[in-house]
C-alpha cells in the first residue's frame, strides 16, 4: 500500500514555501517517490513582516499571531497546489509535516520559535498535520537542529562516503559514512548574508547565479575578520540562524571599511565556501563525494568555489540522485511526519546533542 505524506518547508532565506507530496512505499522499492510539488512566494507584506519579526519589536505577540495565521493559509494553499499536481485529494494523504517559519532559535536558553498554526492548516487543507518538530529535542538538551540528517541518511546513504550540504539561509552538513554514525551540524551562513547584502545594494531578492559576486574581488582582510567569528571554531553539536548572522553582525564585521559592494559580495561568497569547506575537512575528512541541496545549490559561483576548495573530492548536487535541490527539505519534513505517526524517533543525538532518541512533532488530526 502507498504511504503518501506531504511536506512543507519555508526556510531562513524567506524565499517562499515549498511543498511536496511523496510516497514512502513506492512500487519500485526505493526510499520514496515524489508525486507532486509546488512553490508559493510570500506576499510582499508578509515577507516584510516575517523579516521584521526576526528581531525584537513592538506588539510582537499580536503581530506574530497574525503572521502565523497568514502563514498557515499559504501553507495550506501550497499543499493543495502540490496535491493538484499529483492528481490526489486530501483524503489520500496520511499527514503533512509542516516545520513553520523560524523567527528565533535560542537552544542555549532552552527554546526555539517557529511561527505556525497547525490546527488552521488541518482545517484549510483537510488533513492531519504534524508540526513543532524542534521543541522535544531541545527539551532533551539538544540543539533542535539540524533535523534533516536522519532523512539524509534514509535517502542518500550508500557505499560511497558522502556529505550532504544544505545551502539554505544557513548551511548545514550531514556526514554519511558507509558504516557508522551519521553526523551533522550548522556550519554558518549560506545565503542569509548574500541575500541581505544583495537586497541592500541591488534591490533584488538574491544574486542570480552569483553574477554580481563574480564582478567583485575577495578582500582578504575582510574575510579574515568574518571567519574570526567564534561560532565557526565551536565544536559540534551546534546550530545557528539569523539570531547571530544578521545585518548587525555584518555591519560590525565591516567596521567602517570602504569597499565596493561587489567586493563585499564576493567576500561573503568566500565566507560561505570557506566555512563549509573547513567544516568538511575537520569533521568529515574521509568523505569523497559532496552533494549540495537547497536554494544555494543554484548559485553557480558558490558551487564552483566549493568544487575548487574541496578538490579532489567530487562536488555536485542531489539532482544527480534524482532529487531536485529545492525538494530535499520539504521531503525531510514529510518523512519526519511519517516517523512521528509511527512513534519512531526523528532526531539523531550525535547531531543535536540531545540526551537520546526522541519522537519529534505534535499531531493535529484532520
Q: Is the peptide bond before 237 cis (omega within 30 degrees of 0)?
A: yes
- Tell me how far apart the alpha carbons of residues 142 and 360 are, in angstroms, rounded to a whole number: 12
Its pTM stands at 0.95
Residues 321 and 179: their CA atoms lie apart, in Å, by 20
CATH number of 149-321: 3.30.420.40
- pLDDT recorded at residue 294: 96
Distance from C-alpha of 184 to C-alpha of 163, rounded to nearest angstrom: 9
What's the confidence (pLDDT) of residue 203?
81
- The residue extents of the domains of the chain are 4-144+326-364, 149-321
Class of the 4-144+326-364 domain?
alpha beta
Tell me how long the chain is.
366
Same-fold call for 4-144+326-364 versus 149-321: yes
Strands 162-167 and 289-293: parallel
Average pLDDT of adjacent 10-residue blocks, the chain of 366 residues: 95 92 88 96 95 91 97 98 98 98 96 98 98 98 97 96 97 96 97 95 88 97 98 97 96 95 98 98 97 96 98 98 96 98 97 98 97
Amino acid at each position: 500500500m502507498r504511504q503518501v505524506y506531504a511536506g512543507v518547508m519555508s526556510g531562513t532565506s524567506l524565499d517562499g514555501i515549498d511543498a511536496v507530496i511523496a510516497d514512502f512505499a513506492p512500487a519500485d522499492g526505493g526510499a520514496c517517490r515524489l508525486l507532486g510539488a509546488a512553490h508559493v512566494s510570500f506576499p510582499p507584506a508578509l515577507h516584510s513582516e516575517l523579516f521584521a519579526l526576526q528581531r525584537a519589536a513592538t506588539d510582537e505577540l499580536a503581530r506574530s499571531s497574525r503572521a502565523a495565521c497568514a502563514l498557515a493559509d499559504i501553507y495550506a494553499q501550497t499543499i493543495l497546489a502540490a496535491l493538484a499536481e499529483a492528481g490526489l485529494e486530501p483524503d489520500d494523504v496520511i499527514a503533512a509535516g509542516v516545520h513553520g517559519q523560524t523567527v528565533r532559535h535560542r537552544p542555549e536558553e532552552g527554546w526555539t520559535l517557529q511561527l505556525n498554526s497547525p490546527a488552521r492548516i488541518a482545517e484549510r487543507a483537510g488533513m492531519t498535520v504534524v508540526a513543532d518538530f524542534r521543541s522535544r529535542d531541545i527539551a532533551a538538551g539538544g540543539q533542535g537542529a539540524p533535523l534533516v540528517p536522519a532523512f539524509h541518511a534514509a535517502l542518500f546513504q550508500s557505499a560511497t562516503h558522502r556529505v550532504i550540504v544544505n545551502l539554505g539561509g544557513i548551511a548545514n552538513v550531514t556526514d554519511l559514512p558507509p558504516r557508522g554514525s551519521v553526523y551533522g551540524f550548522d556550519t554558518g551562513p549560506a545565503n542569509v548574508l548574500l541575500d541581505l547584502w544583495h537586497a541592500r545594494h541591488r534591490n533584488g531578492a538574491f544574486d542570480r547565479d552569483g553574477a554580481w559576486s563574480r564582478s567583485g574581488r575577495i578582500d582578504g582582510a575582510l574575510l579574515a575578520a568574518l571567519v574570526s567569528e567564534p561560532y565557526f571554531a565551536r565544536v559540534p553539536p551546534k546550530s545557528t540562524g539569523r539570531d547571530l548572522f544578521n545585518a548587525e553582525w555584518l555591519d560590525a564585521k565591516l567596521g567602517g571599511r570602504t569597499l565596493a559592494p561587489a567586493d563585499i559580495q564576493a567576500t561573503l561568497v568566500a565566507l560561505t565556501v570557506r566555512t563549509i569547506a573547513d567544516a568538511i575537512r575537520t569533521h568529515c575528512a574521509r568523505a569523497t563525494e559532496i552533494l549540495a541541496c537547497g536554494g544555494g545549490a543554484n548559485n553557480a559561483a558558490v558551487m564552483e568555489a566549493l568544487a575548487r576548495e574541496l578538490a579532489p573530492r567530487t562536488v555536485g548536487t542531489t539532482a544527480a540522485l534524482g532529487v531536485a535541490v529545492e525538494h530535499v527539505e520539504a521531503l525531510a519534513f514529510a518523512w519526519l511526519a511519517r516517523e512521528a505517526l509511527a512513534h519512531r524517533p526523528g532526531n539523531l543525538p550525535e547531531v543535536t546533542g540531545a540526551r537520546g532518541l526522541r519522537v519529534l512533532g505534535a499531531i493535529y488530526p484532520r
